[in-house]
Structure formats: C-alpha cells, structure tokens
A and B are shown apart, each in its own frame.
Chain A
Amino acid sequence: MPNIIAVVCASYGLAQSVCDGEDLPARAERFFRSDHTNNWAVLVCTSRFWFNYRHVANTLSVYRSVKRLGIPDSHIVLMLADDMACNHRNPKPATVFSHKNMELNVYGDDVEVDYRGYEVTVENFLRVLTGRLPPSTPRSKRLLSDDHSNILIYLTGHGGNGFLKFQDSEEISNVELADAFEQMWQKRRYNELLFIIDTCQGASMYERFYSPNLMALASSQVGEDSLSHQPDLAIGVHLMDRYTFYLLEFLEDIHPASQANMNDLFKVCPKSQCVSTPGHRTDLFQRDPGSVLITDFFGSVRKVEITMETINLTVPGIPLERFGGEPHTETALAYVDQLPVAQIIHQKPKQKDWHPPDGFILGLWTLILLVFFRTYGIKHLKHIF
C-alpha cells in the first residue's frame, strides 16, 4: 500500500512535504476525486404559451445559478421554447420573475439564449447531445464537450409516464433519452453527467438509463404530479414549480468554494414542501454521492498552473499588413450609386425558356381531330360528345 501511494504522489507531481505530511485515506481520496477539467450545462424548457411561464422561469433560475457559480455563456446551451420576457402579455417587459412581488428577476441583463422558439425540438435536443449537427451550426449552439467534461442537463416542461412533451406537438421518450446518453458515453462526450428533471412523473425518465457515470434527480415519482409554487396576481400566472423553487433557494446559498455535496441536493424539497416525492438515482455513478461536490456540476473548474519563469509580454510594434497583396494604386475610389435607376430599367431581358406561340397547341389538336374524323367518318363524333 505505501508503495502505491508513493507512485501516486510522484505521478501527480505533488511536493514531497505534502506527501509526507498527510494521512493515507486523504491521499487515496484525492486520487479518486473527479478529474474533470471543464463544465458544461444544457438547460431546456420545452413548453410554449404564456401559461407555461413557470417552465421558462425554472430554466432561467438554473441558468442564473450556473452562471453565478462560474460556468461561462460559451459553455451553456440554453433552449427556451417560447419568449416570456418580451411577450405582449407580460406587464413588465424584459423580466421573468421567480418570486412573487417581483423580487428576483431571473432573466437578467446579460442572458444569451442559444435555441429559441421553434428551434427547440426533440431532434435538435438529441443532435446537441450527440454532437451530430450540420457543419454550419455556430459554436454557441454546440455542446463541445470532451471526455473530461462534467455536464449538467436540466429539463422542464410537461411530462408523463415515460415521456416529455416538446412544444405541445411531439414527445421524447425515456428510451430515446437513455440511448442518447449511451451514444454520448460511447463517443466519450462526458466524464460525469448530472440529469435533473422537473416534470410530472419525472422519475420515469431516468428509469431506463444504462450508461455509466450518470446521476439523476427528478421532482416526482411515477404516478405523482409536480406542482407549481405560487402565482403572482400582477402577472397572472404561476411563477415557478415547487421543486425548482426550493432548488433555487438551496443554490443561492452555494458559492464557488462551497463544499456542499450531493447528499444535500437529494434533501432539497422534501414531501412536506413539494407535495410530490423527489427521487434520485445513483446506482450508475461510480463515486459515492457524499464525495461529489455541488460545484462539480453547477460550478466551473479553474485549474491554475503556477510557473516560476518570466514571460515577456511586450511585443515590438508590427506594421499592419494588408490582406490581398498588391499595393493600392493612386486612383481615387468613389461611392457606388446606391440606386442605379438607369441600369435597372435598361437591363437585358433574361433568357426565358422557349414556349411555342399562343394558340399553337390548340390549333395542333384541332388539326388532329379534324384529320381523325375525316378519315374515320363523322359518325364517331356522337360517341365523344
């Protein structure tokens, strides 16, 4: 055993004094700590229409927490199926509130939504997860994770036993979701994945998972409904769902250096507060949930490398180079005519396909009929008309 620990210390480049000073379980624990190097988040709201305001507020409150704890916008894929903030029915435009009496605006001032409106479909969601996007997709719409990424996936909307409804017109089933995660595992697109779902009968969505390193949380068991929290009388709709409301309250107490672990997350929203029974699934996860920090998924890893060398940052001025090579001539440039009327009117007519002249086809058919009746006699005419 001491030989193995010594090898571990050497391979991780730990200073000698640290190795000697610590006890064995702590060193072994550090060896088995998660070795993720970056964090991603995929946050999806699948509901459309004004009365599903709470689903957008759910997603935005998780977005807000995740941003606050350090994950940058470039690593968050936010999908909102409808616009609530600038909706005509919103009495306070550009705001989405999570607490009544308009206490907390989760929409904020620097939100970046990657998939909006009709773009939130089952196909796009699965393509984002598996990475099979057309080459023209911009970077902000891609999940560029690698095998050292910890991904947080949050889904909310209307669901049932084994399915989640997207935009009132299609569904994703738990089997499809499990297969998508297996594709991600086989392509090594994640190191560990935390899946949170806040819908009715949410636990049915993680029943079929079979890939390793997955942890799942749901707001209600099969046969139970997830209920909404409080309505706001000024806005006229329910603002949040209960599970995500208490999840937001829990996350507001977490800061980037917090040591809270997953066991605390499992205790969020007991039956007394949520009315439904939240569930979780950890059998596919290799580490003990008690050793997994909340910030492993909700926060962002910052690896700092300390170096003793000095780096020279001053660069001598480089003259600006011209693209395209040849030097400019002395001829003066001029602004182009913005509406060249003369050119437009006197354009050459475009090449059209040749059509036979008018009436030609009609005349041709008349000729054919005449010849027919002349040859075979006029008596056939009455069989036609």
Chain B
Amino acid sequence: MPTLTLASARSPFRDEFAEELAIRPLHSGDIHASFQFRTVWGVDLLQATDPRFLRYAILPREIVCTENLTPWKKLLPCGSKAGLAVLLKSEKLFHSSYFSQAVHIRPVCQGMHCTVPSWEMRQTLNVVFDLYTSGQGKREWSMFKIKIYVDVTDSPQGELFELSPPTPLLSQAVVLGDRRTYSVYDLTDPGTFGKVRSLNLLVRWKADNGDMLRPLLHGERYVAGFGLQTGEIHTLIYNNHPYRAFPVLLLETVPWYLRLYIHTLTVTSKNRENKPSYIHYQPSKDRLRPHLLEMLVQLPPNSVTEVTVQFERALLKWTEYPPDPNHGFYVGSSVLSALVPSLVAMDTNITQEHPLFSSFFLCKEESSYFMRVYTEPLLVNLPTPDFSMPYNVICLTCTVVAVGYGSFYNLLTRTFQVEEPSQSLAKRLANVIRRWRGVPQL
C-alpha cells in the first residue's frame, strides 16, 4: 500500500476553489465578461506526462446551447446554486454576440520549489454582450466570496466611461502581454456593498471614439473561387507586433472530400514568398482519413501572411450525404499555436497572488506567452445530387417505355387502307350542273 510522503514538513496541500469575473467594456459599446472557475486538487492524480505525446484536434461543428452548459455547470462544486454561476442564465448568455466555454485540466507547480505538482481544473466562460439587445449595461448581482475586476485601462480619468459605485482599489495585471489596470470589487470585504446585500454595477458610457489595441496574433480563413468543381482555401495570419517576428505553427485538417492540390500551396508575406521552416503533410485516404498539414511559418513584424491552397470537390456516394446536404459541409478551423512576444515584461513568480485571468496563461519566461488561436470553420457546398431523382427517373423511363413500345406496337399491328375522300356538297352540286351542261366533271 503506497503511503503518503511529502517533500517537506509543511501541511498537506488542500483542495481549493476560486472564482472570478472580469468585465471589460469595449469601445463598440459591447461588454466582454469572462468567468473563471479554478479547482485545484492537492494530490498528484497522474504521473507526469511526456510532452512529445501531445495530441490536439478540432471538431468542425457543434451546436452550442443550454444542453452544453448544463453538464459544464455540474462540474462546479456548488453547480449553479451558489457563487458566480448563479449569474449564468442561459437566456442571456446565448442572446449574445460571442459565447465560449472551456474546461482545462493540467498539472501546475505548487509552491516555490515546484517539487510536487498538483492538478488544476479551470473552467472559463467568455461572453460578449451586445448592448443593444440586452439592455443598457445595467447589471445587478448579489453574491459572496468572490472578486470582480473591471478593466479601466482605456479610461483612467473617466473619459470613455464612468464606473459606479467607484472603488479606490486598483490593481494592475499583465494580460496577454499588455499591462491593464483594473478596478477591483472584493465581495469578501463587506465595505464594498454596505448594508444592502447586493452590488449594482453601473457602467455609463460617455464618449464614442477611441482606438482599441489590436491583438498581436489573429487569423482568418475563407474559401475563394466559384462553382462546385474547384475552390481555394485562404488562411490569413496577422502579426501586429510592431518590431518582433515570431514563428507560428499552423495546423490544417481538411476532410478527404476536398482534394487538396498541395503543389499549389503558397505562403506569402508582404507580397513576397515565405518558405516555411518545417512542413509535415499527410495525404488523405478516401473515406479513411483527412488531409493533415502542419507548417511552421515565420511571421515578419507588422504583416499579413497568406496561405493558399487549391482544392477539388469530390462526389460522395448516395448514402454518405447527411439528411440536409444542401446546407453544406463543415471544414474544421485552422489552429495557430505561437509563442507571442509580449510588449511588457511579465511576472513569472507563481507564489504571488494574481487574479485568475492573468495566471491562466502560464508563462515560463518573462518575454513571451503561449497562445493557441482558432480561425473560423468553413462551410463548403459539394456537388449534391437531386434527391428526388427516383420521381424524375420514373417519369423519364415511363415516357421512354411508352414511346418505344407504342411505336413498336404500331409497326406490328397497324395496316393502311386507301380511302376515297367524300366530296363536299358544293362540289357535288357543281358536278350535277356540269353533267347537265355536258362538260367533264371535277
């Protein structure tokens, strides 16, 4: 029976749970809310894993609705009964511009010396509320034991928006390589909300303009071309860092029924060809496996890199079409993984108290952080047969059979007889008169 042995004499690490809400008013008037729930277990659940056995993949399409949120909420210790999860009302969450939920499970360092790993499960939920559909930015909550952070970097003196009730607590954190300032509402401190046990956070917009900092790395993907025979997939990767270039690993998984012409694969940055440092391509096998294309591309600073590849659409067998084939077929998104250099120095000290959203991206070194970005999935139409063909076929074959058989039957059984045409009344009268005159008849 294995016994517990600890590296040092300190008390055993207990399980803990923390939750947080970070609100960021965007320049467009929308509000981005990010919920983070973190559960840390004090035991080492599995042996350390070998990083060379990493697998990552994407699913082309999944409908996301309350039925996805329900099992996710059940992973929280109190479900949706207490804490921040009470705010997660599906009618508000899904009536939004953007919704994303995730579960991350990973081993983390525990303590300064990091001899004993502990396992952490993070559940994140990001929503962007479109203010025009969901009310003018008024929110009301009542809850306990959590912290709310509101991003006020863009409006330090209150030019862009005004926050009420005001709070003197300000904290700075580095998120995604950018130093942001946050107003903190600590709900464990009873001074925050006074006698009434509810916090009414009001964001009043003042100005309309302002420029937002663009993300350092983002991607786009679309299908070009026309018709149902060929097409071209374009993937655009943007590097908005002003002076640093960095490599990005691009993974594309394309289903077998879009037959890629890899000889037409081109990578261009700033109108010049950019040869990737590493390419791994595994061709597809019909009905067995998709195309797998993985490339390491160096992105020059402040540029757009375009990856294009042409493809041909295949014709599927009758039974392989889904019940709604005219909707189209989904192609999974591309995955861009990169170590993005940050504009400001980041803190790698893990023992310090950090807000959850900034410790989400664990950074090994101060100068860069790891990010994985997904592009949009594609929707392509394949040449689809007319599934009412049996009706058409029956009409056509019946017509052909009728015409063919009818002609053959006539040939075999029809006989022709000569018949004197009967004269009309006028002619008969004329003949009578002619006979009487003695002139030859008509």
Contact = CB atoms under 8 A, between A and B. Distances in A.
B115 A331 contact: yes
A94 B91 contact: yes
Contact of B277 (A112, A325, A338, A345): A345
Contact of A118 (B43, B51, B322): B322
A345 B278 contact: yes
Contacts of B296: 341, 344-345
Interface in B89-133: 89-91, 93-95, 109, 113-117
Contacts, number: 131
Contact of B71 (A49, A112, A322, A344): A112
B370 A339 contact: yes
Q: How large is the interface on B (under 10, 10 to 19, 20 to 34, 35 or more residues)?
A: 35 or more
What's the dominant secondary structure at chain A's contact region?
loop
B2 A325 contact: yes
A331 B117 CA distance: 12
A324 B1 CA distance: 10
Nearest to A326: B2
Interface in A285-325: 319-325
Interface stretch (A37-45, A103-111, A202-210): A103-111
Nearest to A109: B90
B158 interface: no
B94 A94 contact: yes
A367 interface: no
B323 A169 contact: yes
B66 A107 contact: yes
A113 B67 contact: yes
Interface stretch (A12-20, A85-93, A184-192, A273-281): A85-93
Given A333-B114, A337-B364, A345-B278, A94 B90 contact: yes
A327 interface: yes
Contacts of A93: 65, 91, 94-95
A94 B12 contact: no
A332 B115 contact: yes
Contacts of A345: 277-278, 296
A95 interface: yes
A167 interface: yes
Nearest to B324: A48
A324 B45 CA distance: 9
Given A86-B94, A113-B67, A324 B47 contact: yes
A158 to B, nearest CB: 13
A116 B5 CA distance: 47
A338 B369 CA distance: 9
A83 B63 contact: yes
Interface in A62-100: 83, 85-86, 92-95
Contacts of B5: 322, 327-328
B351 interface: no
Nearest to B319: A169
Contacts of B366: none
A272 interface: no
B43 A111 contact: no
Nearest to B46: A323
B18 interface: no
Interface in B41-70: 42-48, 51, 63-67, 70
Contact of A320 (B42, B63, B113): B42
A252 interface: no
B67 to A, nearest CB: 4
Contacts of B117: 333
Interface in A104-139: 105, 107-113, 116-118
B51 A336 contact: yes
A335 interface: yes
B324 A109 contact: no
A173 to B, nearest CB: 18
A59 B163 CA distance: 46
Contacts of A325: 2
A340 B340 CA distance: 13
B34 to A, nearest CB: 20
Contacts of B400: none
19 contacts: A86-B94, A94-B91, A94-B93, A94-B94, A109-B66, A112-B67, A112-B71, A319-B3, A321-B3, A321-B4, A323-B43, A324-B44, A328-B7, A330-B7, A332-B113, A333-B115, A337-B51, A338-B364, A339-B247
Given A94-B95, A116-B67, 15 more contacts: A85-B65, A86-B65, A92-B95, A93-B95, A94-B65, A94-B66, A95-B91, A109-B66, A112-B67, A321-B1, A323-B2, A323-B43, A324-B44, A327-B5, A334-B114
The 3 tightest CB contacts between A and B, nearest first, are A86-B65, A327-B5, A338-B370
